Amino acid sequence: MSDEETSNVDVVEHTTTTISEPEPQPTTTTISEPAEPTTTPPSPPETTTTTTGISEESLSKFQSSIQSLSSIIPSIPPSITFTTTNKNSNHHPALSLLHDPQTSSEISSLLRQPNSGAGDNNLCRWLYDTFQSNDPSLQLVVLRFIPTIAGLYLSRIPLRKPLAGFEAVLLALYAHETTSRAGQPVTVNVPDLSHPSLYHESVAPNKNNATALNLAVISPSLEPHGTVRSTRRARIVGVALELYYSKIHQMPVSSKMEFCEFCKVWAGKEDHDEDETDKTMKKKEGRIPLPWELLQPVMRILGHCMMGCGVKEKELLEAAMGACKSLYGRSLHDINAKGILATESLIRLGKMALESKDIVVVDHTEISISNVISI
Amino acid sequence: MESGEEVFREFSANGIFMKTTEVEAKLDEGNIQEAESSLREGLSLNFEEARALLGKLEYQRGNVEGALRVFDGIDLQTAIQRLQPSIVEKPPSKKGRPRPESQHAVSQHAASLVLEAIYLKAKSLQKLGRLTEAAEECENVLNAVEKIFHQGISDAQVDNRLQDTVSQAVELLPELWMQAGCYNEAISAYRRSLLRHWNLDNDCCTRIQKSFAVFLLYSGVEAGPPSLGVQIDSSYVPKNNLEEAILLLMILMRKVILGKTQWDPSVMDHLTFALSLCNQTFVLAKQFEEIMPGLCPRVDRWNSLALCYSGAGQNKAALNLLRKSLHKHELPNDLMALLLAAKICSEDCYNASEGVEYARRAISNAKGLNEHLKGLSLRMLGLCLGKQAKVASSDFERSRLQSEALKSLDEAIALEPNNSDLVFDLGVQYAEHRNLNAALRFAKQYIDETGGSLLKGWRLLALVLSAQQRFSEAEVVTDAALDETAKWDQGPLLRLKAKLKISRSLPMEAIETYRYLLALVQAQKKSFGPFKVIPQIEDDKVDEYEVWHGLANLYSSLSHWKDAEICLAKARQLKRFSAEALHTEGTMLEGRGDVQDALVSYINALLVEPCYVPCKILIGALMSKMSPKVLPVARSVLSDALRLDPTNRRAWYYLGLVHRDDGRMADATDCFQAASMLEESDPIESFSSLH
């Protein structure tokens, strides 16, 4: 025991340094993904035509962004780089980038490399710069990768890897949200049916003012953060996820699938049929503390994945169901009452949605069919 | 086309029936005109009526393209225009005489015909996947209805058939916009459906409300508040998706209670999801309470209620409900209920033994699919035993409970090596057991595994170090923690730091720290209204009283009586009756030699808080010095203090003095020995403050 007594302060200092100043990491692995043989390296597209829907400025931002991306990912399909010359367009070329499965999966797999979160990582820099361009369509492209970034970031914290690159991206999102909300909290006035409302009349109209309403804080006020302080980490990631949620209907399914995958990792899977050798691995599996400030936005996103698209996206529904089950298990383990209530209800709803495709649902908008056709 | 089946359809109009076979054959040949004219002749219909019938036939036959071709032949817009003046000659006066029935009926008949035709056109387009066009046609139906019936539709004003078409169109329109991916149009269509008078029946209205609520809750498309036009004074207008969704779901629940619609468990599930995300489990509890008996099993309801109350911080209510649901005649082995009950019990010394029972039951039921809850059950057992040890009646009992607690926590961590909460619990448990080296190891491991993201980890480490009398290292840890903490969360750390400074005999620096803490606490009070940042450890917020009191103690220890008095007065303004303040007052009086008044203060403190250990010790100490006659009193007071706080070094020391003065040298030696052993292991703040 005596060796610990002498070394404890050392450990503490170590923890703080890994958080605040990541060690420089050589960037050797950024282009290790083999380029697809079918695609040719893109030539820089020229902008001679102006489109009606999109401003020149936005296009040039897109082009410079695509150019720097092409130095990281050599195999961007020409369909993306060349849509800029397409005249008929309210369709921003960034949206093609957003929905291009090949580029997305290449970026995702680069992000998953062991040292991808370092401060000098090209891809993190690209994501950061692209987000800071303040072009809404380009920002969507960055948001698309938030599930992977947040997922990897939080799971890698105990592994003491350099993470300044991820942190820069997450902080940029946090700062964006802080500015656009002016630091204000997001609140909800939970209705009380004894007051009349838009949709109902109250039997006994209460003369009291609306003070009886329950004010619920969905997301507390935001203070600016220049660095990720470890005790604010969950909050910063949570706010980034809130931003992701606000754009979630524009996100491609693959991004949401990645989110569901990381939910499982965060929850820490409850498998017990492994042998001893796996147990040491399990410790690094990525189970993280899940305080409410993180779990709440996670649940909102999962709610969308499960109920927002319905049975149309069966694959997503099933992935979300799996994630939700893991989080239910985790909420039980944490004996987190709110978490149990939210996950449990969502699982029941998901089950109903999955079963509903097997039974014939009555279509109330169909006319009644009879053999006597009359007017 | 369904040629194989033997379906005999017939037309019916003007009291005449006619087989459809002949007409169908003509349609199949593509001869719409001929089919139309044979209908007009056979049933004496006009052009539009014939077309409408044909369209309906095609639609029913599943030939939606054919139906579209037929409908395209009718100029529906002019038909609508023709309808308007005939019905709306004048806006119906409120309680005026009913207009001549015959004319009314005829017009309605015509309206019904045209509207149904447009509606079927929309349905045909929907089936062909031309969703935007379908939505536009469907919208035409509603626009026409609004033009024809200025005041909205009231009961008994329209015939069934027309009402059916209207209701169906109202329900279909938002769905079409949704399918077309036009979310903003869908939102206004939903609101139009729900806010205008369409005379919908309850079921239809319920379906629309539910589907809108689901859209608001999960689509991720922010709807924005409804337009000012529909807002009524003094009524509640939702201003964002969550508010609107919750309102609609609550209205749906109310309808179920009033018997207007059927019980739909999914509504409650949606509401549960929405309200728990808003932290409003207390409101949710009210909803669960309102559900009529018989709709859901009572144990489910009790358990859900318990979760709601526990989520709202009302653990007592939650525990009472769990006791009901865990009764042997209900579901005594429900794991969730057992674990929640055990957790609530583990937070209170006097419920801990009850919690031990729940945890044991949970362990024996954590089998099969629930095997993964075994570690958690063991953890709860450990926590409850540890808490029970605090109120143990004897030393023997206490150490037995403590080692059992450690044993089950050890078993738990063997099952769940990656559970950082367990690491923390073990740290605290070992610290309370005064196994400081083990506690230190777990404290460090906890900070590593959580990446230092939780304040309580930093505090545990600093307290363990302080218990080892390694104050300067504890301060390094506290400073590191301060670096990782945003300003508003720093209170408990600053308080710790001030105390560490005092322990290191750096009173001036301690005063400086207190001053900073005071500024923080006062700024915090001012800057946040109801929306304050929720601190990580909610119970552990430093309040202004504590700071003044800490300063008073500090000045008093320095014999700066004036300053101490000022600070104490400030503290008392914030909290009039407190044992701590009386304690400080007593020590100040004692310090100035006023022993009688000091004793009075200490006794008053005990009147405020009968179990306040520090004053018991001081009373014992004062009495032991007074006269040999009161030594037995001193002894009993000190023994009582030790019963409450068996690891209190000062209590052991003074008890030793009493024994010595009474001539019981062996007892005195034991006491002194205990005191000296404990001296090495007092933390600067109690370990139990960590939970």
ipTM for the assembly? 0.87
Mean of pLDDT values over A237-249: 95
pLDDT score at B94: 41
> What DSSP string runs through B515-571?
HHHHHHHHHHHHH-STTPPPPSSGGG---HHHHHHHHHHHHHHTT-HHHHHHHHHHH
Of A311 and A286, the structure prediction assigns the larger pLDDT to A286
Return the structure tokens found at A6. 């002498």
Which range of residues forms the domain containing residue A68? Answer: 57-76+91-104+113-193+214-249
pLDDT interval class at B152 (50, 70, 90): low
Residue in the structure block whose two tokens are 């492209």: A141
* Calpha distance A350→B288 (Å, rounded): 21
**Average pLDDT along chain A:** 77
Inter-chain CB proximity A15 and B340 less than 8 Å? no
A258 part of a folded domain: yes
Residue A206's pLDDT band, with cuts at 50, 70 and 90, is: low
Number of domains in chain A: 2
Q: Is the pLDDT of residue B299 over 70?
A: yes
Average pLDDT, chain B: 86
Q: Which of chain A's residues have a Cβ under 8 Å away from the Cβ of B53?
A: 373-375
Same domain, A240 and A263: no
Note whether B483 and A19 are within 8 A (CB). Answer: no
Is the CB of residue A162 less than 8 Å from the CB of residue A25? Answer: yes
The pLDDT value given to residue B154: 61
Mean pLDDT of A70-90: 68
For residues B266 and A352, the answer to whether their CB atoms sit within 8 Å is yes
Q: What is the CA radius of gyration of chain B?
A: 39
Backbone φ and ψ for B100, nearest 5 degrees, come out as: -50, 125
* pLDDT tens column, B210-237: 999 999 999 989 888 887 766 666 788 8
Q: Is there a single domain that holds both residue A186 and residue A313?
A: no
> Residues A186-212: what's their mean pLDDT?
73
The residue behind tokens 């007594």 is A5
A45 is a domain residue: no
The predicted model scores a pTM of 0.85
pLDDT tens string B34-89: 888 888 888 888 888 888 888 888 898 888 898 888 888 887 777 777 776 544 44
CA–CA gap between residue B480 and residue B666 (Å, rounded)? 47
Shared domain for A226 and A329, answered yes or no, is no
- Contact in structure between B408 and B385 (CB atoms under 8 Å): yes
Candidates B48, B209, B273, partner chain A, best to mutate (most A CBs within 10 A): B273
Name the pLDDT band for A213 (thresholds 50, 70, 90): low
- At residue A11 the predicted structure's pLDDT band, cuts being 50, 70 and 90, is very low
DSSP class of residue B62 equals T
- Mean pLDDT for B385-391 is 91
- Do A99 and A230 reside in the same domain of the chain? yes
A46 touches chain B (CB under 8 A): no
Q: How many CB atoms lie within 10 A of CB B436?
A: 22
My answer on whether A147 and A243 are in the same domain is yes
Type of residue numbered A9: V
- Report the pLDDT value the prediction gives residue B49, as an integer from 0 to 100: 83
Q: Are residues A240 and A261 in the same domain?
A: no
* B139 neighbors B166 (Cβ within 8 angstroms): no
Q: CA B550, CA B583: separation in Å to the nearest integer?
A: 12
Is residue A209 in a domain?
no
Q: Which residue of A has its CA nearest to B452?
A: A230
Residue contact B248–A199, C-beta within 8 A = yes
Region A89-112: mean pLDDT is: 84
pLDDT of residue A48: 40
Residue B84's pLDDT is 65
Residue A252 to chain B, least CA–CA distance (Å): 13
**DSSP characters over B327-391:** STTS-TT-HHHHHHHHHHHTTSGGGHHHHHHHHHHHHHH--GGGGGGHHHHHHHHHHHHHHHHHT
Residue A188 sits in the same domain as residue A276: no
Local confidence band at B587 (pLDDT 50, 70, 90 cut-offs):
very high
Q: What is the pLDDT of residue B688?
A: 79
Cα gap B416→A272, rounded to integer Å: 9
Query: Distance between CA B193 and CA B200 in Å, rounded?
Result: 9
- 8 Å CB contact of B483 and A20: yes
Place A67 in a pLDDT band, splitting at 50, 70 and 90: confident
Residue A297 and residue A225 in one domain: no
Of A9, A197, A248, the CB nearest to B476: A9
B-proximal residues of A, 306-365, CB under 8 Å: 306-308, 329, 332-335, 337-338, 340-342, 344-346, 348-349, 352, 364-365
Q: Is B151 helix (H, G, I), strand (E, B) or coil?
A: coil
Task: Write out pLDDT tens, residues B273-295.
Answer: 999 999 999 999 999 999 888 88
Distance CA A69, CA A81 (A): 11
Residues B132, A329 contacting (CB under 8 angstroms): no
Beta-bridged to residue A187, according to DSSP, are: A217
Specify the amino acid at residue A209. Answer: N
H-assigned helices in chain A? 2-20, 56-72, 78-82, 93-99, 101-111, 122-132, 136-144, 146-156, 164-181, 233-246, 253-267, 276-282, 292-303, 314-334, 337-356
Identify whether A24 is part of a domain.
Answer: no
Judge whether A5 lies within some domain: no
Q: Among B67, B154, B73, B167, which Cα is nearest to B115's?
A: B167
Instruction: Give the lowest-confidence range in A41-50, B27-36, B242-251, B673-682.
Output: A41-50
pLDDT higher than threshold 50 for residue A324: yes
Are residue A232 and residue A297 in the same domain, yes or no? no
One domain, residues A117 and A245? yes
Q: Please, which residues bridge with residue A374 across strands?
A: B12
Chains A, B: CB contacts under 8 A, how many? 314
Integer Cα distance of B38 and B56 in angstroms: 16
Are the Cβ atoms of B468 and A300 closer than 8 angstroms? no
- All residues of chain B having their beta carbon less than 8 Å from the beta carbon of residue A195 are 235-236
In this predicted model, what pLDDT tens digit does every residue of A125-176 receive, in sequence order?
A: 999 999 999 888 899 999 999 999 999 999 998 888 889 999 999 999 999 9
What pLDDT is attached to residue B475? 94
Return the H-helix or E-strand segment holding B647. Answer: none
Q: Is residue A273 part of a domain?
A: yes
Say if CB B31 and CB B20 are below 8 A apart. no
pLDDT of residue B514: 93
The string of pLDDT tens digits covering residues B673-684 is 998 888 777 788
Contact between A338 and B311 under an 8 Å Cβ cutoff? The reply is yes
Q: Tell me, what's the pLDDT at A19?
A: 32
Side-chain half-sphere CA neighbours of A348 within 13 A: 15
Asked if A15 has any chain B CB less than 8 Å from its own CB, the reply is yes
Residue B467 pLDDT > 70: yes
Determine contact, residues B333/B365, Cβ cutoff 8 Å.
yes
Confidence of residue A69 (pLDDT cuts 50, 70, 90): confident
Closest residue on chain B to A302 (Cα): B218
Concatenated DSSP letters of B408-445: HHHHHHHH-TT-HHHHHHHHHHHHHTT-HHHHHHHHHH
B275 chain-A contacts, CB cut-off 8 A: 190
**Nearest by Cα to B169 from B199, B140, B132, B131:** B140
Phi and psi torsions of B663, nearest 5°:
90, 10
Q: Which of B415-419, B537-541, B660-664 has the lowest mean pLDDT?
A: B537-541
Tell me the HSE value of A216 on the side-chain side, using a 13 A CA sphere. 22
Contact B246, B275 (CB under 8 A): yes
Closest CA to B385 of B342, B338, B331: B342
A204 at the B interface (CB within 8 A)? no
Q: How far apart are CA A161 and CA A303, in angstroms?
A: 32
B483 touches chain A (CB under 8 A): yes
- Looking at the domain assignment, is residue A284 inside a domain? yes
Could you tell me if A191 and A197 are in contact, meaning their C-beta atoms sit under 8 angstroms apart? yes
Q: Determine which of A10-24, A285-299, B373-387 has the lowest per-residue pLDDT on average.
A: A10-24
Q: How far apart are CA B246 and CA B248, in angstroms?
A: 5
Beta pairing class for A372-374 and B10-13: parallel
Residue B535 has pLDDT above 50, yes or no: no
Q: Please report whether residue A279 resides in a domain.
A: yes
* For residue A316, pLDDT beyond 70: yes
Q: For a pLDDT cut of 70, what percent of chain B falls above it?
A: 91
Radius of gyration of chain A (CA): 24
**pLDDT level of residue B528 (50, 70, 90 thresholds):** low
Nearest alpha carbon to residue B236 among A208, A181, A184, A217:
A208
**b/e code B552-583 from CB counts within 10 Å (16+ = b):** bbbbbbeebeebbbebbebbbeeeeebbbbbb
- Statement to judge: residues A157 and A266 lie in one domain: no
Tell me: do A221 and A306 sit in the same domain: no
B314 vs A: CB within 8 A = no
Dihedral of CA atoms B216, B217, B219, B221 in degrees, nearest 10, equals 50
* Contact call for A366 and B123, based on CB within 8 A: yes
Query: In Å, what is the CA distance from A247 to each residue of A240, B187, B658?
Result: 11, 17, 73
